[in-house]
Amino acid sequence: MKIVSIRGATTVEYNDKEEIVKATKDLLFKIEKENNLIKDNVISILFSSTKDLNAEYPAKAARLLGYTQCGLMCFNEMDVLDSIRKCIRVMILYHDSLKQKDVKHVYLKDAKTLRPDLNK
């Protein structure tokens, strides 16, 4: 057993509580499915969002999905000129036999531009 990191990101159209929670849930569902995650093996989930998103904590979506035994934290993403806006990023620290090279990172909506290498 080892620890791997699983990355992902998504975007929303509006700074709205329901939209932030829904987009984050969708992202987490896709990451779970692609990597066959077991919730009990999740050590922690770190969320960041661009400064234009402040209506809700993305971590709320994780709690609603049953991530209650792992650490969750939210941060502001670094504000880079001309970077993607209304973006939620996630990094999951996961304890499993999964190898880092076999991890499937998930980038949705406009966030696909962050990792064009994954969309081939």
Q: Among this protein's residues, is 85 annotated catalytic?
A: no
Return the amino acid letter for 78.
Answer: M
- What's the DSSP call for residue 26? H
Q: Among this protein's residues, is 19 annotated catalytic?
A: no
Q: Active-site residue among 19, 32, 70, 74?
A: 74
> Residue 40 and residue 22: Cα distance in Å, rounded?
22
Q: Active-site residue among 13, 14, 18, 63?
A: 63
Q: Active-site residue among 56, 77, 87, 94?
A: 77
Outline where DSSP puts E strands in the chain: 2-11, 42-49, 71-76, 87-96, 106-107
Residue 85 is assigned to a ligand binding site: no
Q: Active-site residue among 56, 67, 89, 94?
A: 89
Residue 7 is assigned to a ligand binding site: yes
Residue 107 is assigned to a ligand binding site: yes
Q: Which residues are catalytically annotated?
A: 7, 63, 74, 77, 89, 107, 115
